[in-house]
Amino acid sequence: MALEGFKRRVLGSIGLLKGKRKVDEDTVKELSKSLRRALLEADFNVRQAKELTERIERRLLEEEPRPGIRLETHAMNLIYSELVRILGSPREIRPHNQTVLMVGLYGQGKTTTTAKLAEWWRKKHSAKVAVIEADVHRPGAYQQLSQMLDGTGIEVYGEPESSEAAKIVRKGLKQVGTADVVIIDTAGRDSLDGDLKEELLEIAEVANASERFLVIDAQVGQAAGPMASTFHELVGVTGTIVTKLDGTARGGGALSAVSTTGAPIVFVGEGEKIGDFEKFESDRFISRLLGMGDIKGLIDLAPDDLDEQEAMRLTQRLMSGRFTLTDMYAQMEMMSKIGTLDKVLSHLPDTMFGGMGNMSVGQKRQMQSNLERFRVIMDSMTQEEKDEPLLLKSSRIRRIAHGSGCSEKDVKELLAQWNKSKKMMRGIRGDRKMRRQMQSMMGIDDELGLG
Ligand SMILES: Nc1nc2c(ncn2[C@@H]2O[C@H](COP(=O)(O)OP(=O)(O)OP(=O)(O)O)[C@@H](O)[C@H]2O)c(=O)[nH]1
Ligand SMILES: [Mg+2]
């Protein structure tokens, strides 16, 4: 089932609670049934769907929503946390004494991921990593892998002329003997037919790998479960890597794969370049799946002195419609505390903040340098001026420019930016859908007086 469908169905199930102040058993049963249907259509296996919905049912009946939180939001949070639970806590895989076998269907990103993973462990863990190209079917596979790893110093073993994959692996393992980690890339399969099955089994036997990673394209929907189960029977999958999460797909097929194999997602691929690779975090993934944006990711970027509460308070204030220079200042301060804007924006839903998530790198850089300048200027303002920027006529502007060592033009630019930001915030406020999305992400309800 297309992922949009999954999200729609989940929202539809939750919709059954609309307008209710308390849960009743009938509604919960109905919700659970509808949710189970959604999960089954998303290729969850029957047992898993049953367990999941039973837990949600129980929690809905037993747990009171936090004060001020609507029942629907409460249910969404429960579903979210249960889905996260299914994906499990991410496994820590130490790059030491490991042989990793990469398997997966044709074109899913195995070769690219082999290179990414090798580089990840080399760079982040200073591990001595080697790779073996055991794909004897894709022309140029060895070259593709070597090219990606060019300049990293990672050893690439391959025999482009050979057609005997298992032999390559045997020789390769000997050759790279002293490496901490050896990663083996294998041939893609259209489907797992006889010969290829045979070949993979042979490779698996020779490799005797400590980890078998299933590489799966985020776009794979319905087919993911059965596909994963075939590979699982063959090699015993121990970890899942989801690729192409930089695209529009949200990666729901991966959930079915994980629920079939029980092998947690360990890493995700987010682009074609070797560095476009991240350790997997289940809560971010589910947020994305349910279209909630990566707000958790945003909060995670914050250092210790910036807690979730503060982030929420700010969001609330921004959405309240008041938007003084002080608010903009707080927003800037938070963003600069959190890190570079670039990092922040990449974690927001594309449409949020008037499409800021879509800004080009150049635009983002420009904004970053503006922010720094603005901050200096604002330090020369009185509190009253920051609260009521409309007070800032030419004599005050002159004074502030002088005090901050900037030009009057700079000060005017800041005011123009404030005007623009204010409009943008109004835009968000006026956009009901966006507002709701933001509020539900933050666990904020309409009743809290945001209207
Ligand atoms: N955007 C994006 N593209 C990716 C990602 N991972 C792989 N690709 C692209 O997907 C295509 C296929 O990737 P490969 O690594 O060759 O896939 P493969 O599974 O080795 O393919 P075969 O060897 O033919 O089975 C290439 O064009 C990659 O650049 C990713 O995370 N994001
Ligand atoms: Mg390949």
CATH numeric code, 98-289:
3.40.50.300
- In this prediction, residue 4 carries a pLDDT of 60
Q: In Å, how far are 43, 118, 245, 312, 401 from 123, measured between CA atoms? A: 37, 9, 22, 35, 46
Neighbours of 298 (CB within 10 A): 22
Q: In Å, how far are 46, 284, 364 from 225, measured between CA atoms? A: 12, 21, 40
Q: What is the DSSP letter of 21?
A: S
| Most distant pair of Cα atoms in the chain: their distance | 83
Q: Which residues of the chain are in CATH 1.10.260.30 domains?
A: 295-448
Distance 272 CA to ligand 1 centre (A): 7
HSE of 420 in the Cβ direction (CA atoms, 13 Å)?
Answer: 10
Q: Which residues of the chain are in CATH 1.20.120.140 domains?
A: 3-87
Question: What residue ranges line ligand 1, CB within 6 angstroms?
Answer: 104, 106-112, 135, 138, 141, 188, 243-244, 246-247, 269-272, 276
Q: Which residues of the chain are in CATH 3.40.50.300 domains?
A: 98-289
For ligand 1, atom 4, which residue shows the shortest CA distance?
272
The CA distance from 240 to 215, in Å, is: 6
- Kindly give the number of the ligand 1 atom that is closest to the alpha carbon of 276: 31
287-296, pLDDT tens digit by residue? 766 766 544 4
For the chain, 451 residues long, give each residue's pLDDT as a single digit of tens.
445 667 778 888 888 988 888 889 999 999 999 999 888 776 677 777 898 899 999 999 999 887 767 788 788 778 878 887 777 666 788 999 999 999 999 899 999 999 999 999 999 999 999 999 999 999 999 999 999 999 999 999 999 999 999 999 999 999 998 899 999 999 987 776 778 889 999 999 999 999 999 999 988 876 788 889 999 999 999 999 999 988 766 677 787 788 888 888 999 998 999 999 988 877 777 776 676 654 444 444 444 444 455 556 656 665 666 678 877 776 666 665 555 555 555 555 544 444 444 455 666 566 667 777 888 898 899 988 988 888 899 999 999 999 999 999 999 999 988 887 777 666 655 666 655 555 544 444 433 333 2
**Which superfamily does 3-87 belong to?**
SRP54, nucleotide-binding domain (1.20.120.140)
The CA distance from 107 to 219, in Å, is: 12
- Fill in the amino acid letter for 222: Q
Q: Is CATH 1.10.260.30 the right assignment for the domain spanning 295-448?
A: yes
The answer to whether the CB of 72 falls within 8 A of the CB of 15 is yes
Mutate to test the pocket of ligand 1, among 231, 272, 276, 280 (most ligand atoms within 8 A of CB): 272
What is the DSSP code string of 34-78? HHHHHHHHTT--HHHHHHHHHHHHHHHHHPPPPTT--HHHHHHHH
Neighbours of 437 (CB within 10 A): 18
